[in-house]
Amino acid sequence: MRSTLFLGAFAGLAAANINFHWVQPTCDFTSTEKSPCLKGQSCTEANTCEANVSDEQVYLPAFRRAVPAVKRQAVYSTDGSCGPANGNTICDPKSTVYTGTCCSQYGWCGNTAAHCGTGCLSGCGGAASSSAPPTATGGATTPRSDGRCGKDFAGATCDSKGAFGGCCSAYGYCGSTEGHCLPANGCQNGCTGSTTSASIPVITTATRPPSTTTSGEPVLGKPSSVVAPPTNPTGKATTDGTCGATFGKTVCGSWPQGSCCSMYGYCGSTTSHCGAGCQSGPCVGAPVTPPPGPSPAPAAAKPGSIAIKGRSGVPAMHAALMPNGKVVFLDKVENYTELKLANGQYAYSSEYDPNTQKLAPLAYKTNAFCSGGVFLADGRLVSAGGNAPLDFIDPTVKDGFKGLRLLKRSATDATLDGQAWAEPGGKLSTARWYASLQIMPDGTIFVASGSLNGLDPAKPENNNPTYEILNPSASPQGKSIPMAILSKNQPYYMYPFIHLMRDGNLFVFTSKSSEIFNVGSNTVVKLLPDLPGDYRTYPNTGGSVMLPLSSSNQWNPDIVICGGGPYQDITAPADPSCGRIQPLGAATWELDSMPEGRGMVEGTLLADGSVIWVNGANKGAQGFDLASNPTLEVLIYDPTQALGKRWTTGPKSTIARLYHSVALLLLDGTLLISGSNPVEQPMTAPTAAHPYVTEFRNEIYTPPYLQGNPVRPSAVVLSSKALKADGSKFTIKFNNKAGSKAVKVSLYYGGFVTHSVHMGHRMAFLDTTGFNAAATAQTITVTMPPNKSVAPPGPYVVYVLVDGVPAIGQFVMVS
């Protein structure tokens, strides 16, 4: 099976882009002489040179192969193989065995566009130009116009925005593939950059196809076999990054995003492409590092408790804690909710007061179905994207695909409470259903991904694997820019996890892949290794949390991602594994696991920096009626413990929280849990076909730090509620009980919660001085984070914790 797969893959690859200009050598199987076969081939009993099926290395593109430890010195190839995986040879223009001076990214000499174009490792000038081994001919440390670089050219660098690419390969050629950019492949300079997103073609169409099924959501279904056999590729190379059985049986060839054809028919080079289900190209089969299975966790010494309290009024698809201390719930157009507007229509958004359980209906103008969101620098909440109108249900709500909805609330102006979402008229530049948002240090908003019309792996024209930037006021800049990590990970490209890091770059994770992305230059700063295990993003989303930042960890982010699943079907077993990575540090995944597989599980930071994981299911996926075996237990993750000791279990809820549920931290330090609406239109009573229905009950999880009603710090007064992320200081006065030992102050950004993705979510511990353990009335001095990459502008909550017990939090504005 495996060798057939590799042979099939090789045949496709060879036909697609190994356009040799020499006669394939014949061989003598019985001969004891040195084989005339190329490197990576051996002589078969039929006296033909065939690819080494026993050696997976042979089939991997150069950047995936083991790099020989030999000196990187340009030596002419004698047999037509070249590059890092083939003895660091370059192509000999005088060779009589082969033709061509360009070494392709797969390590073969030739002079076709596939060899000399994107990914070319050496001799890339093509047949016309000289391909003599580089010699020291002078040059400058600035980019040269001929795309040559490195030590043989006086240290010339590459222009990341130029025609060639920003990385200097071991052989002195500028390019943007991993063969050029990875230090392991001998990259000489510019090595942090890898792929310019803009240089990658993206499959989109100018106009959205007509929308027909907008009240529902398409489903990928269960693959007929998780490891699909190769589908006899035609050998015809893709022209748009699609491939395989669904797309004319094309192969990926030298497609810039990678040469493996994924199970769903998209070209790429990640484990989702080359691993299980790979249709053609350098498929690698089983994962190298299997993720850990479930690991039992002990019950927490202090588990906290859960109580049912209040209602959401509308299905809680999206939620955020607003600066007035109330929670806004936001839903799609429905034919039933518990609240009505003055115009007689159902409300699809509500404002919930956790202190009084009172609800107010909120109006909106465009369908917010599966939107993304974040807070603006001025404190308003934005919801971006959505879905088509459903006139037959509510003619007053319009098309929300490009919608931008704004909600303003204030800690000091109660007259804003209850006011409707404002839609002053700005629109996203392209339709986005399931986009993720993140605020940047300069207050602009990064909006990524989304569907133009519903997820269907056979319809790339439905997809929008691009990003766009909104101005700080949420007015659009009007341009959608292709983003390679989204493009190649279709259909698992929606609702990506995005975290802003201290250097101003974004950590972006989708499917199983992640990278560090620089928005300003539209470049991939670093490709991170794939996270072993199943898909982690929509429609098998788990949760992703950036752990607390502090001066003691140099504000260096640790990101933990848990849960997920292998395919979008009710039979899909959820993934228990978690990966934790320091993208700016070692950048390797440390694997861990929850006590059980969980999809749609979401992690929320508590005021003390521990992480609570709730909601989700042990079986199934996101989508209507697609999950069962609800996971009811609260899981507590203490990031400060050693690996293997971080998880403990809390209480069990009695309420299934499946698709379209949420969790977020309230000002009083408790966790609000709400939602679950895994049916197309609300149902209040289960049937055999719909065992899980619409849930309007809220729950409050009281965390360990409030168990037993400890005395909270009180009378908290901040010297200012307009704070600057510039290392400046402010003071906090408060009272604490006698005999207290230590204070901690956290600066907490809850963000916009939907589909177990917490957009913008982050917290920082602030340095403090002046706590007097002998006193009960304190005045402490608190230092703000050093810059806006650590604390981007917007509304935050300040929690003062004494010996781990939080005071009631207070909203501040950070600029």
Does 502 engage in binding with ligand NAG (CB under 6 A)? Answer: yes
245 vs 484: CA distance, rounded Å? 22
Span of 37-45, 477-485, 660-668, 744-752 interacting with ligand NAG by CB under 6 A: 37-45
Binding residues with ligand NAG: total (CB under 6 A): 18
CB 180 within 8 A of CB 168: yes
CB of residue 719 to ligand NAG, shortest distance in Å: 23
Query: Do the beta carbons of residue 495 and residue 564 sit within 8 Å?
Result: no
CB of 54 to ligand NAG, least distance (A): 5
Scanning 39-47, 265-273, 610-618, 747-755 for contacts with ligand NAG by CB under 6 A, the matching segment is 39-47
Cα distances (angstroms) measured from residue 17 to each of 119, 239, 254:
12, 13, 6
State how beta strands 75-76 and 89-90 pair: parallel
Tell the smallest beta-carbon distance from residue 788 to ligand NAG (Å). Answer: 8
Q: How far is the CB of 200 from ligand NAG (least distance, A)?
A: 26
* Shortest spacing between CB 25 and ligand NAG, in angstroms: 15
Contact at 8 Å (CB) between 180 and 63? no
For the CB of residue 683, give the shortest distance to ligand NAG in the complex, in Å.
7
Residue entry with tokens 């000002």:
667
Q: For residue 10, report the phi and psi dihedrals to the nearest 5 degrees.
A: -65, -40
345 is a site residue for ligand NAG (CB under 6 A)? no
Is the CB of 502 or the CB of 512 nearer to ligand NAG? 502
- Identify the H or E element spanning 10: helix 2-17
Of 59 and 748, CB closest to ligand NAG: 59
> Which tokens is 565 given?
């699943």
Q: Does 712 bind ligand NAG (CB under 6 A)?
A: no
Reported in sequence order, the residue ranges of 530-683 that DSSP labels E, i.e. its strands, are 543-546, 559-562, 577-581, 590-593, 602-605, 611-614, 617-620, 627-630, 633-637, 647-652, 661-665, 671-675
Half-sphere exposure of 149 (CA within 13 A, CB side): 31
Query: What's the min distance (Å) between Cβ of 596 and ligand NAG?
Result: 32
- Report, in Å, the least distance between residue 347 CB and ligand NAG: 15
Residue 442 touches ligand NAG, criterion: CB under 6 A = no
Helix, strand and coil content of the chain, in percent to the nearest 5, comes to: 10, 30, 60
Residue from 31, 47, 54, 772 in contact with ligand NAG (CB under 6 A): 54
Comparing C-alpha atoms, which of 268, 278, 285 is closest to residue 177? 268
Question: Which C-beta is closer to ligand NAG: that of 200 or that of 339?
Answer: 339
Least distance from ligand NAG to the Cβ atom of residue 625, Å: 12
Residue 665, CA distances (Å) to 232, 662, 785, 795 in order: 52, 11, 21, 14
From residue 477, alpha-carbon distances to 194, 480, 709 in Å are: 26, 9, 50
Q: Supply the minimum distance, in Å, between the C-beta of residue 332 and ligand NAG.
A: 13
- Do 185 and 589 contact (CB within 8 A), yes or no? no
Strand partners, 740: none
Q: What is the closest distance, in whole angstroms, from the C-beta atom of residue 643 to ligand NAG in the complex? A: 26
- The closest of 460, 87, 15 to 254, measured between CA atoms, is 15
Q: Pick one of 353, 423, 503, 625: the residue that binds ligand NAG (CB under 6 A).
A: 503
Decide whether 44 or 714 has the Cβ nearer to ligand NAG.
44
- Does 39 bind ligand NAG (CB under 6 A)? Our answer is yes
Q: Which of 66, 212, 232, 336 binds ligand NAG (CB under 6 A)?
A: 336
Fill in the DSSP letter of residue 83.
B
Choice between 208 and 311, CB closer to ligand NAG: 311
Q: In this complex, which beta carbon is closest to ligand NAG, that of residue 518 or of residue 670?
A: 518
Segment 516 to 555, residues that bind ligand NAG, using CB under 6 A: 555
Q: For the chain, how far is it from start to end, CA to CA, in angstroms?
A: 59
Mask of contacts with ligand NAG, 622-661, x by CB under 6 A? ----------------------------------------
Distance, CA of 607 to chain centre:
25
CB of 335 to ligand NAG, least distance (A): 4
For residues 218 and 565, which CB has a smaller minimum distance to ligand NAG in the complex?
218
Which residue stretch of 34-42, 183-191, 563-571, 657-665 sits at the interface with ligand NAG (rule: CB under 6 A)? 34-42
Site for ligand NAG in 666-695 (CB under 6 A): 681
Structure tokens at 533: 């295990």
Q: Is 56 helix (H, G, I), strand (E, B) or coil?
A: helix
User: CA triplet 403, 424, 318: central angle to 5 degrees?
Assistant: 40
Closer CB to ligand NAG, 503 or 767, in the complex: 503
| Of the residues 28, 55, 413, 726, which one makes contact with ligand NAG according to CB under 6 A | 55
- Selected binder of ligand NAG within 8, 12, 40, 139 (CB under 6 A): 40
Integer Cα distance of 606 and 751 in angstroms: 13
Residue type present at position 733:
K
Give CA 203 to chain center in angstroms: 19
CB of 778 to ligand NAG, least distance (A): 27
Query: How many residues does this entry show for the chain?
Result: 815
Q: Please choose, out of 36-44, 541-549, 700-708, 740-748, the segment that lies near ligand NAG by the rule CB under 6 A.
A: 36-44
Among the candidate windows 51-59, 132-140, 255-263, 516-524, which touches ligand NAG by CB under 6 A?
A: 51-59
Report, in Å, the least distance between residue 735 CB and ligand NAG. Answer: 33
The C-alpha angle with vertex 578 and arms to 572 and 582, in degrees rounded to 5, equals 145
Determine which helix (DSSP H) or strand (DSSP E) holds 114, and give its type and residue range: helix 113-116
Binding mask 776-795 for ligand NAG (x = CB under 6 A): ----------xx-xx-----
- Output the smallest distance, CB 334 to ligand NAG, in A: 8
> Judged by CB under 6 A, does residue 52 bind ligand NAG?
yes
User: Which residues contact ligand NAG by CB under 6 A?
Assistant: 39-40, 42, 52, 54-55, 58, 335-336, 502-504, 555, 681, 786-787, 789-790
